[in-house]
């Protein structure tokens, strides 16, 4: 009996370490793609880091996926001199993860492709409201709408390319990220 408990405990510990490691790795990747590969806009910048936020939400259980977006993008805002955006980013990137599923055997599935639509709407509405309310005015926020759309379209392209590559090598199955039902 104690052998089964001990083995189960080791398996749970191993799974938790794997999830925490992947969460940290993906958060770091979000940070790099957001902080270093961005195009400055009105009061912020446009980037492709959301593609990795989408990827995390398609691979990891929800709390870990939410942490990837909130921590990775939040660090980018903070360390890139855009700390004023941190409250919005922390919430918006975490909420964005809610639309994707990690329960499919493949990363790229119809649900995850369609999830980009509410993710885009959340980003546009969230950042427009935040900018209009706390940073400048709604006129400036409306002017920024095209940059939010470009950001999501470019991020979707990154997400699809990464997903195709990872699905091709059977990443979720081979590395133990297939969700249990």
pTM equals: 0.90
Q: Which residues pair with 179 in a beta bridge?
A: none
CATH topology of domain 2-174: Arp2/3 complex 21 kDa subunit ARPC3 (1.10.1760)
Q: Which structure tokens are listed for 36? A: 């270093």
Token output for 167? 């699905």
| pLDDT tens figures, 157-168 | 999 999 999 999
> What pLDDT is attached to residue 141?
82
Number of H helices, E strands in the chain: 9, 2
Residues in contact with 43: Cβ distance below 8 Å, sequence separation at least 6, in sequence order = 84, 131, 135, 136, 140, 144
Tell whether the model's pLDDT for residue 73 goes beyond 60: yes
Residue 68, pLDDT score: 98
For 8-15, which contacts have Cβ atoms below 8 Å and span 24 or more sequence positions?
15/176
């Amino acid at each position: 009996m104690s052998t089964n408990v001990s083995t189960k405990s080791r398996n749970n510990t191993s799974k938790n370490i794997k999830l925490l490691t992947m969460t940290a790795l993906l958060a770091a990747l979000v940070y790099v793609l957001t902080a270093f590969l961005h195009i400055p806009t009105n009061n912020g910048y446009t980037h492709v880091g959301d593609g990795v936020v989408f990827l995390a939400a398609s691979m990891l259980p929800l709390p870990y996926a939410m942490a990837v977006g909130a921590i990775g993008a939040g660090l980018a805002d903070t360390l890139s001199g855009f700390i004023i955006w941190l409250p919005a980013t922390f919430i918006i990137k975490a909420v964005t993860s809610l639309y994707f599923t990690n329960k499919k055997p493949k990363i790229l599935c119809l649900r995850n492709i369609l999830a980009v639509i509410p993710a885009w709407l959340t980003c546009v509405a969230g950042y427009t409201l935040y900018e209009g309310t706390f940073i400048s005015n709604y006129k400036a926020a409306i002017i920024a709408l095209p940059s939010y759309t470009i950001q999501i379209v470019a991020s979707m392209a990154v997400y699809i390319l990464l997903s195709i590559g990872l699905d091709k090598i059977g990443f979720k199955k081979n590395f133990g990220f297939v969700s249990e039902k």
